[in-house]
Structure 1
Amino acid sequence: MGDTAFKDMAILRELARYVFSYGAGLDRYTAEDLEDSKRLYGAMYLLMSQSQALIDMAERAVSLLGLSARCCADAGGQLMIHGVFTENDFKLYMNIVKFRNALVNKYQVVKIEIVKDIVLNRRYKQLIDLALKIVERFGEDL
């Protein structure tokens, strides 16, 4: 494995750890916590950070495949084309990209009910599943 690929793998592992760590942070939230505006915005920040780490993983994975992506959405498409993601995984990934974009670009416009649903129904664990698929593709054991 070349120097660049070795560095890419190390970064990929570190990003995966972030995805898992942010998920663990979200595991601690309760419905009562989300009624407090500071805790709610904390959960939103964790969701945004977890989403960004997964998107960064997808872009790094595309690079490890020897490909390039025009944007983060294209990175997900490349992973689907190359068998890392299923079509349903790609649809989920695109929803994650849209959600992250909404948080980054229009922080106050995100519907609080959506954030609460994601946290309370533990939907953020789906990001962990996608991160695992990326890591497994490259034979890495975290």
Structure 2
Amino acid sequence: MTIVYLNSLRKHEILRRKQVISELFRCRKSLKSDNIKIVYSFLDSGVKLPDSSAAAVLFAVSKRTVPKAVMRNRVKRLMKEAYRLEKSILLQKKEIVGGMRENRTLCLAIIYIGGNRTLPEFASFRKEMNRLLRTLNGG
């Protein structure tokens, strides 16, 4: 019996392999909003994702953008939560799911680019994440 965790961000969904991350940034395509940039590509990640997983993902916040570690960690938590709640959008279209079935995984790097000096509210992160994932999904 398999339990489907649609609105969760499981450990195996986090992208960690340096080789895959390098390849992601080498063959990248990107989408950008006010505070978030998503770099994506279909890669052989070597990671077996269950059917309920939308993609392998990593979250990044640079020291230059957010100098204090406490705030960087907060931004990462906000981005992870926004992604966790909106990732079901990626499973709604056959093109994304079809790309994953060919032994290729959708790999995402979600990067905070900090459009303004103040930290945005969670609702803002979620709205931007929703819009970017819908654009990525072609709708």
Q: Normalising by the residue count of structure 1, what TM-score does the alignment of the two structures yield?
A: 0.28
Bigger CA radius of gyration: 1
Structure (1 or 2) with the greater strand fraction: 2
Structure (1 or 2) with the greater helix fraction: 1
Q: Normalising by the residue count of structure 2, what TM-score does the alignment of the two structures yield?
A: 0.28
